[in-house]
Structure 1
Amino acid sequence: MAAGAGALAPVPGVPSASLHEFPYPPQTRPRVSGGSPAGGVPPATDLVLGATAGCLACVLTNPLEVVKTRLQLQGELQPPGTYPRPYRGVLRALGAVCRADGLRGLQKGLAASLLYQGLMNGVRFYCYSHAEDAGWTRYPGGTVAAGAIAGAVGAFVGSPAYLVKTHLQAQTLSSVAVGHQHNHESISGAFESIYRQHGVAGLWRGVTGAVPRVAVGSAAQLATFASAKDWVCEHQWFREGSWAAVLAGGMVSGVAVAVTMTPFDVVSTRLYNQPVDADGTGKLYRGFLDCVLQISSKEGLLGLYKGIGAVYLRLGPHTVLSLFFWDELRKMVQHQQPPGP
């Protein structure tokens, strides 16, 4: 959701047989001795596996995250057509980043992105696993609600890392710079500088945009991903159970998720990256609603959809890669567990 919010469980009402290849934990997992769910892994293990899977996927999708950040900051609070556009579309933006920062520029902020993915996905999978074990996902709408809540908690925990990630990914040469330039030397220097100037509260600046961003993205993906996968199989685009079908389902689902999540994503990026006064108050936006109103009035409603192409292209691959890595890691853990009594 990183973006990255991924689907975690089958949508209620969808026959389980059609989802047997999906790396989802079962809806009900009876406990065995030691507190581990039968046929599954404990929530604490899901925390580690979810964090690891999110980080592995992040390495491959971070370049699109860099492009998305630049596109969303381009022309900040300026009417359309009145500002230079060094970044035009996803492909040309990738080229512009390479020309300005070299190939390594496509992985700007990678360490902070990995930290965010590890924290956010680890906590998200952990919370969802607990909700599943408690039986909340068996109620109508429980899967979506649990996914949204788990995503919101994960976003809150990972907010400082997302703040630093945004600052580092926005930094570039002055000729192609967009948004405020914080000029951090490193990830550790960024954390130290923010904490020294604004204290602990400064590390959570922008969290009011991050929490609804991940909650909405997670809920939308849970509501559409499995159905989209079944749809591409029914139309015989790909063989059922293949990873091509899962990827295609992720890209179809990505349309709905990108449309619903991108406005929250733009607002989140702006809140995180804006310059602040000595007391930590934002110089451009007073909060989530003020940011929405300012973007809408000065950049038009389409301003809330800047970078939607990069958001969409990142969603499908990141979701599938996260699920794939998570599933493989869970299988390794399950094979090493001793059989129940």
Structure 2
Amino acid sequence: MFASAVSNPLDMSVRQQLRTQAPGAKANAFWTVGMQMARSEGVMSLMNGFTASMLREVTYSGLRMGTYEYFKDSIHGLSAGTLTTDGLTLKVLAATVAATLGSAVANPTDLVKVRMQAYYPDGSPYRNTRHAFATVWREGAGAGAQTFAGGVRALYRGTDATTIRGVVLSVSQICSYDQIKQSLKQRGVMEEGLPLHFTASMFAGFICSVTSNPVDVVKVRVMNDKERQFKGVSDCVKTIMRNEGPMAFYKGFGMCWARLGAHTVLSFVAFERLRTLFGIAPM
């Protein structure tokens, strides 16, 4: 939550990823988007979706980071020793299971966060986070017995894209941090401590930004698709490729890297500090 609070203003990458101008357009740089937001909506617009972001971190990051080592130990036990604790395969499997769980549970908070951070020419239709949740619920709610089911489906729109993104990000982020940290220690380059945590998380932040940005673009487009223009994730991918070109999948990369880089460093440094305070061995 601390990492997300610090990096929330950098989440303007959502605005960049939602823009659908033709290939080659130059008015989508993150500083351009940020200045436009500050001038037209006020500086506090950079904190849009803050409460939803905090709720998302409690569930998504809490589950994916909190259960990673549990699944790592469990899968190692189930493998009867065929998977080594230092091997990358075990780390990837554990991160995949943990991220799938976290992403699926946290989807409603992620959807509301994206909606609240999107641009609305006539002003945001959401008064606050609670109102945003209620509005999304009503979008999918039908009549009679379908009201509950429809509301739940609306809140879980884009779960497939969210889960794919969560798995891609977590595997590249958690596994790269774990693997880089392990390699630096084994080679005697660095010892356990803050410098090692900072260095490993810096590399992990860049790696997960590169791998997750394309999936992130698709995810925010599907989640913000109130008119149901896309039939699903694959249709969204085809539409972006056809109308905007392949580089559209890296819209907002600069800000994505700045945000995810800062978020990754703060997350792992805080995570390792908390483990030390509670007498838990480092990751």
Using the size of structure 1 for normalisation, the TM-score is 0.69
- CA distance in 2: counterparts of 1:248 and 1:129, whole angstroms: 21
Higher mean displacement: 221-230 or 95-104: 221-230
Q: Where do 1:95-134 residues align within 5 Å?
A: 95-134=35-74
| Larger displacement relative to structure 2 (221-230 or 151-160) | 221-230
Q: Which structure is higher in helix share?
A: 2
Q: Distance in 2 between matches of 1:272 and 1:103?
A: 25
Distance 2:43 2:124 in 1: 22
Deviation at 1:172, TM superposition (A): 4.8
Identity of aligned residues (%): 30
Q: Is the 8 A contact 2:52 2:129 kept in 1?
A: yes
Match status 1:171 vs 2:119:
yes
How far does the alpha carbon of each residue in 1:79-132 deviate from its partner, in whole angstroms, 9 at most, with x for none? 2256x83x42x3333332222222211111000000011111122234324313
Partner of 1:319: 264
**Partner of 1:287 in structure 2?**
232
Deviations along 1:6-29, whole A, 9 cap, x unmatched? xxxxxxxxxxxxxxxxxxxxxxxx
CA RMSD of aligned residues (A): 2.8
- Counterpart position of 1:205: 157
Offset, 1:68: 0.7
Q: For residue 240 of structure 1, report the CA deviation from its aligned partner.
A: 5.3
Distance apart, 1:143 and its partner CA: 1.1
Residue number in structure 2 paired with 1:57: 3
* Alignment pair present for 1:157 and 2:99: no
Separation of aligned partners in 2, 1:268 and 1:127: 24
| In 1: Cα distance, 2:244 partner to 2:194 partner | 40
The yes-or-no answer on 1:304 pairing with 2:249 is yes
Shift of residue 196 of structure 1? 2.3
Partners of 1:119 and 1:158 within 8 A in 2:
yes
TM-score by length of 2: 0.82
Question: Alignment partner for residue 254 of structure 1, among 182, 205, 209?
Answer: 205
Structure 2 residue 134 is matched with structure 1 residue 188: no
- Residue 202 of structure 2 contacts residue 264 of structure 2 at CA under 8 Å; is this kept in 1? no
Unaligned segments of structure 2, at least 5 residues: 141-150
Q: State the 1:186 CA deviation.
A: 1.1
Instruction: Find the aligned partners of 2:204 and 2:69 in 1 and give their Cα distance.
Output: 23
User: Which of residues 5, 15, 37 in structure 2 aligns to 1:70?
Assistant: 15
Q: Distance in 2 between matches of 1:81 and 1:148?
A: 35
Alpha-carbon spacing, 1:206–1:173, altered in 2? closer, same or farther (3 Å): same
Q: Which amino acid aligns with 1:80?
A: P
